[in-house]
Amino acid sequence: MTGAPPIVEMTGISISFPGVKALDAVDFRLFPGEVHTLMGENGAGKSTLIKALTGVYKIDEGQILVAGVERRFGGTADAQAAGIATVYQEVNLCANLSIGENVMLGHEVRGPFGINWKATHRAAAGVLATLGLEQLDLRRPLATLSLAIQQLVAISRAMVTEPKVLILDEPTSSLDANEVANLFTVIRKLRDQGVAILFVTHFLDQVYAISDRITVLRNGGFVGEYPTRELDRTTLISKMIGKDFATLRSLGSERQTHHYEPRGEPLLKAEDLGRKGSSEPTDLELHQGEVLGLAGLLGSGRTELARLLYGADRPDSGTVWLRGKKTDIHNPTAALSHRIAFSSENRRDEGIIRDLTVRENLVLAVQAKRGWFRPLSRKEQDALTRKYLAELNVRPADPERPIKFLSGGNQQKVLLGRWLATEPDLLILDEPTRGIDVGAKAEIQAAVAALAAKGVAVVFISSELEEVVRLSDRIIVMKDHRKLAELENGPHVTAETIVAVIADEGDDEEGDSE
Amino acid sequence: MRDVAARRGAIMRNPAFWGVIAIAALLAINVIKDPSYLSIGYNGETGRLSGNLVDILRAAAPILMIAVGMCLVVATSGIDLSVGSIMVVAGAVSMELLSGMDGSTGNAALTLAVALGIATALGAVNGILVSVVGLQPFISTLVMMLAGRGIAKVITGGQNTTADNDSFAWLANGYVAGIPVVFLLAMAIVALVWLLVRRSALGLMLEAIGMDSRASRLAGVKRRNLQLTVYSVSGLLAGVAGVFATASVMTVDVSRTGYQLELDAILAVVIGGTSLAGGKFSIGGAVIGGLLIATLDKTVVFLGIPASATPAFKAIVIVVLCLLQSERVRSLFRHRRALRAQSQKEAVAA
Amino acid sequence: MRSNARIARAFAAAGALTLALTACGGGDDDTSASGDGGDEVVTVGFVAVGPEGGWRQANEANVQDTFTEEAGFELKYAPATNLDQRSQIDAFTSFVDEGVDVILLSATEGAGWEDSLRRAQEAEIPVILVDRGIEPDDTDLYVTRIAPDNYEVSTSVAEWAVAAFPDGGNYFVLEGPAGVSVVNERNQGWDDAVGSAANLVKIGAQTANWSTEEAKSVFETVLRANNNDIQIVFAQNDEMGLGAAIAVEEAGLTPGVDVQIATIDGTKPALEALSEGRLSFVAEYNPLFGETLLDVVGQVLDGEEVEPYIVVPSETFDSPEAATAALPTRKY
């Protein structure tokens, strides 16, 4: 970071895709022994820049110097051979193999009789030790580990080749606070060994916790490169979204002060709702027009409870009354017909259908609710799509584009549109803002507030406690698959309140999140 | 200029386009052998059109049926290996029934209904095994493939049963307005299936299941019902194919009727641009695939390719076709051309 | 269910055999479990082709009817799955492992039997080839082959063609699947006999896989490719001949007049077609040689020498009248 020359220097990088300028004259420098964060809204060009560096995309203009030599890589493997390793957001490991095998895959130590497994495992142990992970059992199958540990294994795997540059593309998007802290310990260790680390994340806290410098991109263009300590949060956000952030901020406080008093019969009432092994019997009440927050650590049972409400998993105990009537919600189809909608936390596997267009994704639930033999006419589909694309400010507002080409935040907005199009009375949103940029996040929060104002009951789940506190009228705190407490929200409730509830109740520090 | 190039690119990327090219190429080879290959004669006496093209259309009819059924199944990321065996069951039922009855049209209609009903039921069994029991489609339909031929043998007592019924035979051999009935029927059924799938939301639902069954379940898509429907339709269409195949000679050959035709059907679907991984499907593509396979079969005979070389010839045609369809191979060619052009330019510059 | 019963029976038989052997004690050490005891059941493993056509049906039924329990045999019938050689080899191997007394083999494909036959030899189980031969024809590997002679039968078809077309003509051959020994033998017999008549011109040959449907489709295209200028069809089985007849009719020609079709096998549908004039010549390939087979099995088990090739005599039918006369007594 000091006088040393940059290990990676990219100047004037431009890439065009048909119809879009994905990167426009972007500069980027990375020094040995620093953690450098790439910031920007989704679609700003962060991933594209990484892929330009590793040669996944061919650059149209510009120059890439690695250790002072001009390079053009032919792909991730090529880049890795030159000392640039990448760990992607989605863990790309083999679930059935052991930790040791995963770490050494493709770099097995060979002896005269093929692979020398003993030596291979020894090498794996060495790599893990340098990262401070020597406590891991090499022979354990990867599938038995939490996502967080898998992430660390993925990093270990990248470190096998002893790269000089390590790219971490949103490694924290599915980790909780504890796990993030673990990951950061590892990252700091690597930094101190002189590895240059390029870090992509959406979490501002994390940016300030770990990075030395920040490069900001916006709409494929280069905004600037700043030392972290010289850039405060507000400035950073306004640089990212290019406009004043104050309006977005006001939203939360407004909601929190304007507390909603539930009146009359609950929309949904559940008694002893539970499922063996995933959710302890829980009581629950939901009123029209209120936002119920489910807070708790990852693996505390928030998602499991939400899935039971929607019938995504079948409850094996308890009774549900809907609008005062005893109702059996045994599958999603039944839930939809009772005007309940559920947006899964797993956007990639349980949310969007990648190869369908935005329009098809948006109308899918409405169409499924009607049955395939009563098709929506093309006109109705177009009207519905246009309505929600505009309402939720989806960009690009092109209904015929496959949804996979949209950024995460815009995909999430389309999904929200999918559920809103079914005109639900109860909307369950599981981590709707995870892994998306601040701008989209604020828009989704605003949409939730607006829905509640219109009388929809919303169950809101998020790992970001501030967000839960800001949006909810009531908060259920969960831990170990059961309801710990129920809080009426108000000015006295903060994220710390919830943390205190969780911490007071238990003595477990390890957190057996799976 | 740019627009034209883009449109041309889109056409080249459409796998069915290469299927059409392959058909054209095969026909061209036949024309080289015999310039009158494409001519279509009209027989004033019988009022029939005749010629090689007409023969191809007739031969394509059974393949079209099973290819379309297979296409729907594949869209849900399943596979139906039992179509050939369901064909032989439908054929065996038809012949066995007809051989014991007089040759009236009523009997033909009754037989048709029973045969197609049984074929649909066998398809539904596949559907239940896949959707309710939750077996792998490959395994369920493999079981049905083995069982089906066994059932056919039981039905005919192991014989190759022959029957007489002019109305039934007309389905495969008759002509309306000079065009083979069998092809008209096949196209009508294809059109019907297309309408059913594309004018309702069935197509979208099938693609959704095929692309991401978990996401579509949470979106309220009823996977079980749809799978049951699709496998039943595939069974029904295989039954139609079986009727076409046996009616043309009024004989069911329990060991040969429909034998290995599931492979032809899968091939037709893939040639038509539907990925075996499921998702986006193209019925039009499957039709082109089916026509290509029929053309290929007829070409082999027309050129008099020796029996022992036939499989190799077919394989080569199909491998070349698949290579042309592959984006990667095409871009490799482009790349080489570009390199050559560039090196020429550089040479000139130097 | 049934196979369970069969296995149980096999075990019972094996048990009985063991008892009998121990009872014999240290008598003579003639190990062959020959049938001369009279009471003992002889186990016969029949590696068969299974459903393939009328001819095969008649042949295998005839074998099954001959080796009955009353005659002192237990016949284990193992038809191939969809004419697949693999399934035949499996059946053959398990017969060897079971230690049956004799194996009858009708191979779906000629090549690839050496290893299996050698195993049988090591286990001292005699193998008799029924109908189909093996390739290469190594007579050391089996005891004898009993069959109508494909070569002779197809020679008789060729002789008919030569005599019926003194002024010559064009002919087309509809073959069985490529590589099967029957196909090779039938081609050989025909080619050798027709080769002498220079005025018979071969237009081509295609496989129609023994199938009526395929034969129809193939021959319709062949007619088109040659402007209907074909006078003789040599169909290597009845089914394909009948398919060719349909193709001829659909082309607007008359079978028997414009195109004469000769077939091999002599099944009932073919003789009916011959009596109607749709076929012109049918050479029987006699499937009913169970009795001959029975004698040979007895001789083999008694340790007698037998000829390596036993030809079953076959008839030919060259006119509608001959066919009509034969039809009432036709068993297959």
pLDDT in tens, A388-418: 999 998 888 899 999 988 888 899 999 999 9
Q: What residues make up the domain containing C68?
A: 2-14+31-148+287-313
Q: Helix, strand or coil for residue C268?
A: helix
Nearest to A336, CA basis, from A440, A422, A265: A422
Q: What residues make up the domain containing B148?
A: 2-330
Nearest to C273, CA basis, from C58, C54, C62, C51: C54
Q: Do C132 and C99 belong together in one domain?
A: yes
Percent of chain A with pLDDT over 90: 34
Nearest to B240, CA basis, from B71, B123, B157: B123
Does any domain span residue B139?
yes
Q: What is the mean pLDDT of residues C244-249?
A: 94
Helix, strand, coil tally for chain B in percent (to 5): 75, 5, 25
Q: Do C88 and C175 belong together in one domain?
A: no
Q: Do A175 and A264 belong together in one domain?
A: no
Does any domain span residue A475?
no
The tokens describing B317, both together, are 């045609």
CB contacts, 8 Å: A342 with chain B: 218
State yes or no: chains C and B have 3 or more CB pairs below 8 A. Answer: yes
Would you call B216 and A373 a contact, using CB atoms and an 8 Å cutoff?
Answer: no
pLDDT at position B256: 87
* Cα-only R_g, chain C: 22
Q: In whole angstroms, what is the distance from residue A216 CA to residue A110 CA?
A: 44
Most B-contacting residue of A350, A372, A378 (CB-CB within 10 A), to test interface? A372
Q: In whole angstroms, what is the distance from residue A284 CA to residue B264 CA?
A: 57
Average pLDDT across chain B, whole number: 90
Would you call A350 and B226 a contact, using CB atoms and an 8 Å cutoff?
Answer: no
**What residue in A sits closest to B2 (Cα-Cα)?**
A18
Burial (CB count <10 Å: 0-12, 13-18, 19+), residue B225: middle
Lowest mean pLDDT among A202-206, A358-362, A507-511: A507-511
Nearest to B83, CA basis, from B228, B247, B253, B262: B262
Q: Do A264 and A327 belong together in one domain?
A: yes
Q: What is the mean pLDDT of residues C309-325?
A: 89
Does any domain span residue B123?
yes
pLDDT band at A508 (very low <50, low <70, confident <90, very high): very low
Q: Who among A332, A354, A374 is closest to B218 (CB)?
A: A332
Q: Who among A335, A356, A375 is closest to B201 (CB)?
A: A375
Q: Do A164 and A253 belong together in one domain?
A: no
Q: Who among B199, B208, B220 is closest to A353 (CB)?
A: B208
Of how many residues is chain B composed? 350
Does any domain span residue B19?
yes
- B41-43 vs A20-30, strand pairing mode: unpaired
Contacts with B, A 35-64, CB within 8 Å: none
Place of tokens 């074909």: C230
Q: Cα(first)–Cα(last) distance of chain B, in Å?
A: 31
Q: In whole angstroms, what is the distance from residue C287 CA to residue C313 CA?
A: 10
The tokens describing A453, both together, are 């104002």
Does any domain span residue A61?
yes
Does any domain span residue B127?
yes
Q: What is the mean pLDDT of residues C162-166?
A: 91
Q: What is the pLDDT of residues C117-129, one digit of tens each?
A: 999 999 999 999 9
| CATH for B290 | 1.10.3470
Would you call A372 and B218 a contact, using CB atoms and an 8 Å cutoff?
Answer: no
Q: Who among B207, B211, B220 is closest to A368 (CB)?
A: B220
pLDDT at position C18: 39
pLDDT band at A48 (very low <50, low <70, confident <90, very high): confident
pLDDT at position C34: 43
Q: Do A219 and A281 belong together in one domain?
A: no
Q: In whole angstroms, what is the distance from residue B242 CA to residue B155 CA?
A: 15
pLDDT at residue C15 greater than cutoff 70: no
Which stretches of A390-488 are assigned E, i.e. beta strand?
Answer: 426-430, 457-461, 474-479, 482-488
Q: Who among B33, B173, B307 is closest to C178 (CB)?
A: B307
Does any domain span residue A481?
no
CB contacts, 8 Å: A367 with chain B: 201, 204-205
CB contacts, 8 Å: A336 with chain B: 220
pLDDT at residue B28 greater than cutoff 70: yes
Q: Do A262 and A232 belong together in one domain?
A: no
pLDDT band at A262 (very low <50, low <70, confident <90, very high): low
Domain count, chain A: 2
The three-point CA angle B11-B17-B18 to 5° equals: 120
C-beta separation of A351 from A365 below 8 A: no
Would you call B208 and A332 a contact, using CB atoms and an 8 Å cutoff?
Answer: no
ipTM of this complex prediction, to 2 decimal places: 0.84
What phi and psi, each to the nearest 5 degrees, are found at residue A300? Answer: -85, -5
Chains near B with 3+ CB pairs less than 8 A apart are: A, C
Does any domain span residue B255?
yes
Helix axes A378-391, A358-370, angle to 10 degrees: 120
Q: Do C302 and C282 belong together in one domain?
A: no
Would you call A365 and B201 a contact, using CB atoms and an 8 Å cutoff?
Answer: no
Whole-angstrom CA distances from C219 to A345, B139, C187, C228 are 63, 37, 18, 10
State yes or no: chains C and A have 3 or more CB pairs below 8 A. Answer: no
Q: What is the mean pLDDT of residues A485-513?
A: 70
pLDDT at residue C2 greater than cutoff 70: no
Q: Do A78 and A149 belong together in one domain?
A: yes
Q: Do C119 and C259 belong together in one domain?
A: no
Lowest mean pLDDT among A173-182, C157-166, C183-192: A173-182
Does any domain span residue C22?
no
pLDDT at position A180: 81
CB contacts, 8 Å: C216 with chain B: 248-249
Q: Do C144 and C159 belong together in one domain?
A: no
Q: Do A325 and A252 belong together in one domain?
A: yes
What's the number of CA atoms in the CB half-sphere (13 Å) around residue C204? Answer: 20
Q: What is the pLDDT of residues B271-303, one digit of tens each?
A: 998 988 899 999 999 999 999 999 999 999 999
pLDDT at residue A512 greater than cutoff 50: no
Q: Do A126 and A44 belong together in one domain?
A: yes
| Chain B to chain C Cβ contacts (< 8 Å) | 92
* Cα-only R_g, chain A: 24
Q: In whole angstroms, what is the distance from residue A444 CA to residue A409 CA?
A: 9
CB contacts, 8 Å: B50 with chain C: 251
CB contacts, 8 Å: B245 with chain C: 213
pLDDT at position B46: 75
pLDDT at residue A510 greater than cutoff 70: no
Q: Do C178 and C323 belong together in one domain?
A: yes
Does any domain span residue C74?
yes
Q: What is the mean pLDDT of residues B64-93?
A: 96
Q: What residues make up the domain containing A128?
A: 8-247
Q: How does DSSP assign C168-217, residue by residue?
A: -EEEEEEE-STT-HHHHHHHHHHHHHHTT-TTEEEEEEEE-TT-HHHHHH
Whole-angstrom CA distances from B156 to A223, B18, B168, B245, C16 are 79, 42, 18, 16, 38
State yes or no: chains A and B have 3 or more CB pairs below 8 A. Answer: yes
> What is the 8-class DSSP label of residue A140?
S
Q: In whole angstroms, what is the distance from residue C244 CA to residue C237 CA?
A: 11
Q: Do A240 and A369 belong together in one domain?
A: no
- Asked if C137 is an interface residue toward chain B (Cβ–Cβ < 8 A), one would say no
CB contacts, 8 Å: C269 with chain B: 162
Q: Who among B207, B214, B220 is closest to A356 (CB)?
A: B207
Whole-angstrom CA distances from A85 to A215, A333, C108 are 20, 44, 58
Q: In whole angstroms, what is the distance from residue B64 CA to residue C25 CA?
A: 70
pLDDT at residue C47 greater than cutoff 90: yes
Q: Who among A353, A370, A372 is closest to B202 (CB)?
A: A372
Q: Do A228 and A254 belong together in one domain?
A: no
Of how many residues is chain C composed? 332
Q: In whole angstroms, what is the distance from residue A91 CA to residue A270 CA?
A: 37
Nearest to A207, CA basis, from A232, A186, A182, A190: A232
Domain count, chain B: 1
How far is the alpha carbon of C29 from chain B, nearest alpha carbon, in Å?
45
Q: Helix, strand or coil for residue C114?
A: helix
Domain count, chain C: 2
Lowest mean pLDDT among A85-99, B32-46, B66-80, B92-106: A85-99
Burial (CB count <10 Å: 0-12, 13-18, 19+), residue B42: exposed
Q: What is the pLDDT of residues B195-252, one digit of tens each?
A: 999 999 999 999 999 999 999 999 999 999 999 999 999 999 999 999 999 999 999 9
Most B-contacting residue of A356, A357, A358, A370 (CB-CB within 10 A), to test interface? A356
Does any domain span residue C19?
no
pLDDT band at A133 (very low <50, low <70, confident <90, very high): confident
pLDDT band at C1 (very low <50, low <70, confident <90, very high): very low
Q: Which of A76-85, A114-123, A330-339, C320-329 has the highest mean pLDDT?
A: A330-339
How far is the alpha carbon of B129 from chain A, nearest alpha carbon, in Å?
20
pLDDT at position A514: 36
pLDDT band at A319 (very low <50, low <70, confident <90, very high): very high
Does any domain span residue B301?
yes
**What residue in B sits closest to A310 (Cα-Cα)?**
B218
Average pLDDT across chain C, whole number: 84
Q: In whole angstroms, what is the distance from residue A296 CA to residue A298 CA?
A: 7
pLDDT at residue C10 greater than cutoff 50: no
Would you call B55 and C221 a contact, using CB atoms and an 8 Å cutoff?
Answer: yes
pLDDT at position B81: 96
Q: Who among C54, C211, C221 is closest to B302 (CB)?
A: C221
CB contacts, 8 Å: B249 with chain C: 212-213, 216, 242-243, 246
Place of tokens 């640089």: A239
Q: Do C190 and C131 belong together in one domain?
A: no
Q: In whole angstroms, what is the distance from residue A402 CA to residue A399 CA?
A: 8
Does any domain span residue C20?
no
Q: Helix, strand or coil for residue B245?
A: helix
**What residue in A sits closest to B217 (Cα-Cα)?**
A332
Q: Do C137 and C192 belong together in one domain?
A: no
Would you call C213 and B307 a contact, using CB atoms and an 8 Å cutoff?
Answer: no
pLDDT at residue A23 greater than cutoff 50: yes
Q: What is the mean pLDDT of residues A194-198?
A: 92
How far is the alpha carbon of B273 from chain A, nearest alpha carbon, in Å?
15
How far is the alpha carbon of A372 from chain B, nearest alpha carbon, in Å?
5
Does any domain span residue B350?
no
Q: What is the mean pLDDT of residues A143-160?
A: 80
Does any domain span residue B344?
no
CB contacts, 8 Å: B246 with chain C: 213
Would you call B306 and C213 a contact, using CB atoms and an 8 Å cutoff?
Answer: no
Q: Helix, strand or coil for residue B93?
A: helix
Q: Do C39 and C144 belong together in one domain?
A: yes
Q: Which residues pair with A458 in a beta bridge?
A: A291, A427
Q: What is the mean pLDDT of residues B148-161?
A: 89
Give the torsion through C-alpha atoms of A116, A118, A119, A122, to 10 deg: 150
| CATH for A39 | 3.40.50.300
Does any domain span residue A480?
no
Chains near A with 3+ CB pairs less than 8 A apart are: B
pLDDT at position C35: 42
pLDDT at position C36: 45
Last residue of a domain, one of A247, A262, A278: A247
Does any domain span residue A3?
no
Of how many residues is chain A composed? 514
The tokens describing B153, both together, are 């043998």
Q: Do C135 and C170 belong together in one domain?
A: no
Contacts with B, A 237-266, CB within 8 Å: none
pLDDT at position B109: 96
What is the CB neighbour count within 10 angstroms for residue C268?
A: 17
- Of B147 and A133, which is predicted with more confidence? B147
Q: In whole angstroms, what is the distance from residue B3 CA to residue A511 CA?
A: 58
Does any domain span residue C21?
no
Q: Do C171 and C74 belong together in one domain?
A: no
pLDDT at position C27: 39
CB contacts, 8 Å: C225 with chain B: 33-34, 301-302, 304
Q: Do C205 and C265 belong together in one domain?
A: yes
The tokens describing A169, both together, are 């593309």
Q: By a Cβ cutoff of 8 Å, what residues of chain B touch chain A?
A: 199-202, 204-205, 207-208, 211-212, 214-222, 226, 279-280
Q: What is the pLDDT of residues C66-75, one digit of tens each?
A: 999 888 899 9
The tokens describing A58, both together, are 């061919």
Q: In whole angstroms, what is the distance from residue B292 CA to residue B63 CA?
A: 10
- Asked if A314 is an interface residue toward chain B (Cβ–Cβ < 8 A), one would say no
How far is the alpha carbon of B215 from chain A, nearest alpha carbon, in Å?
4
pLDDT at residue C179 greater than cutoff 90: no
Nearest to C101, CA basis, from C48, C32, C49: C32
Chains near C with 3+ CB pairs less than 8 A apart are: B
CB contacts, 8 Å: C273 with chain B: none
Does any domain span residue C26?
no
Percent of chain C with pLDDT over 90: 47
The three-point CA angle A364-A367-A371 to 5° equals: 135
